[in-house]
Amino acid sequence: MVDVSAKPPMVRTATATGFIRLKPETISLIKENQLKKGDVLTVAEIAGIQAAKNTSMLIPLCHPLQLTKVDVKCRLTSDGIIADSFTKCIGQTGVEMESLTAVSVSLLTIYDMCKAVDKEMKIENIELLIKTKELPQKD
């Protein structure tokens, strides 16, 4: 790992997104909550939050971070599901890997939950949208 001990603590945020392309029949099953494994969107959001909190265990050179916020939202579109994540911490290194991991695992969870009914799924366009840092507010 890179030594970040000389860096000052900053409020850091990251936003990421990704997409999974699904067949129309699969989208209908998700809307009607008819998949055997349960509520796809809720499970995928929870999986993404859990993944963000465990990023340093998954990616060998990532620093473990004390996350102060993780938000994952999955929403249906006409041709699939968009997963968006927002992560935040006060620390010496950024939270972009946590946000990207949240999106990735959310989409993988959707894939796992739908694989019995959709053999044509495609995960696409996982990307970091925004990364910020600023000094913490003094009260």
Q: Does residue 74 lie within any of the structural domains?
A: yes
Q: Does residue 95 lie within any of the structural domains?
A: yes
Mean pLDDT of 26-38: 95
Q: Does residue 114 lie within any of the structural domains?
A: yes
* pLDDT tier, 31 (very low <50, low <70, confident <90, very high otherwise): very high
**Choosing from 39, 71, 79, 112, which is the catalytic residue?**
112
Q: Does residue 1 lie within any of the structural domains?
A: no
The reported pLDDT for the residue numbered 61 is 94
pLDDT digits (tens, 9 = 90+) for 2-12: 999 999 999 99
pLDDT digits (tens, 9 = 90+) for 69-116: 999 999 999 999 999 999 999 999 999 999 999 999 999 999 999 999
Q: Does residue 33 lie within any of the structural domains?
A: yes
Q: Does residue 3 lie within any of the structural domains?
A: no
Q: Does residue 4 lie within any of the structural domains?
A: no
Q: Does residue 82 lie within any of the structural domains?
A: yes
Distances in whole angstroms, Cα of residue 49 to Cα of each of 7, 9, 43, 73, 99:
27, 23, 10, 10, 9
Closest CA to 137 of 6, 13, 14, 11: 11
Q: Which domain holds residue 62?
A: 10-134
CATH assignment at residue 64: 3.30.70.640
What pTM, to 2 d.p., does this model score?
0.95
Residue 112 appears among annotated catalytic residues: yes
Mean pLDDT of 113-123: 97
Helix-strand-coil split of the chain, %, nearest 5:
30, 35, 35
* pLDDT tier, 137 (very low <50, low <70, confident <90, very high otherwise): confident
Q: How many domains does the chain have?
A: 1
